[in-house]
Every structure is written in structure tokens, then in C-alpha cells.
Amino acid sequence: MRRGFYIGRFQPYHNGHQSVLEHISREVDEIVIGIGSAQISHLPDNPFTAGERVLMITRALASLGCPFYVIPIEDILRNALWVAHVQAMTPPFDLCYSSNPLVMQLFKEAEITVQSPAMYERETLSGTAIRSRMINGEPWKNLVPPVVVQVLDEIDGVERLRQISQKD
């Protein structure tokens, strides 16, 4: 049984994440997905709750054909202990998939194999770019899986993001 770990904030979950997870699903038996900064929501860079992000990911991966676990992980603000914190919250895994330099460094120091998935259309497929499009009323629905559009509709996510991004 080979389990792979993938972590992000998924603010929101987008087609870049989906492509990476489809790739990972062909290499491992099970996937553990960590939702980072799980305690943060209702901020311009982190608008959605961990529960809302669980919903986006779970629905988007419904037909992945590879078992997966979605696990919210709160920040501990202590990088030296972070990998142990992650491991305490997740099923055991054999390797970590990440392109984030800090995440890669921390897992390597813990002697866990790290693989860096290729970036897919990083210019447009980035949480930062998508949040900015939402705020500015530019097209964004083609950049996330259709079920994510549905979740964002249900929670009135774009309106929330616009509201909390305003100055008083």
C-alpha cells in the first residue's frame, strides 16, 4: 500500500490542483490531502473555511478512482515541528508531493521522499489570480472544476470575498 501526501490551502481549489491530483492518483494506491491553514477563513487571502474547502475537494474528486482522505491541518507556527504535526493528523504516508520550497525543505529534513509535480498553466491557475478575478468581476469559472462553482454558489463565496476585501 503506497500512500501519497499533498498539501495546499485550496483558496479556492482549482484546475491546477485537480491536474496534480489526477497525476498522483496514477502513481499511488491512496492519497492523503491536507488542507493547510485550516483555522483561517474570512480573510482576503484565505476566504473559505476548512469545511467549505473539504466540500470543494471531496466533490471535485468524486470520480477520481483512487481512495483519498481530506484532512484539515491547523497552523502551528513552528516550522521545525510542522512535519510531526502533519503526521499526527494524517494516515501514514510514504511520499509527499509538493512544489512549495518550504514544504519541500521540511519534508526532506524529516527524510520523507518529496516529488515536485509539474505546474499547469501557472499564470492563470493560481489561487491568488482566481481570487483577484472574483473580486474584479473577471471570468474565473473556467479555472475551477464545475462542482467548485456549485459550492461557491451555495455559500455565496464571491460576495463574501468582495465584502471582506473592501476597506472601511
The residues binding ligand ATP (CB under 6 A) are 8-11, 16-17, 20, 98-100, 117, 119-122, 125-128
Least Å distance, CB 102 to ligand ATP, is: 10
Q: How far is CA 103 from CA 6, 13, 47, in A?
A: 10, 18, 22
CB-nearer residue toward ligand ATP: 99 or 165 = 99
CA distance 2 to 139: 39
Q: What is the closest distance, in whole angstroms, from the C-beta atom of residue 28 to ligand ATP in the complex? A: 16
- Min dist CB 88 to ligand ATP, Å, is 21
Q: Which is nearer to ligand ATP, 3 or 7 (CB)?
A: 7
Min CB(112)–ligand ATP separation in Å = 15
d(CA 52, CA 50): 5
**What is the phi/psi pair of residue 31, to 5°?**
-120, 135
- Which one, 10 or 82, has the nearer CB to ligand ATP? 10
Peptide bond preceding 12 in cis form (omega within 30 of 0): yes
What cell numbers appear for 130 in the block? 482566481
- Between 72 and 117, CB nearer to ligand ATP: 117
**H or E segment and range at residue 97:** strand 95-97
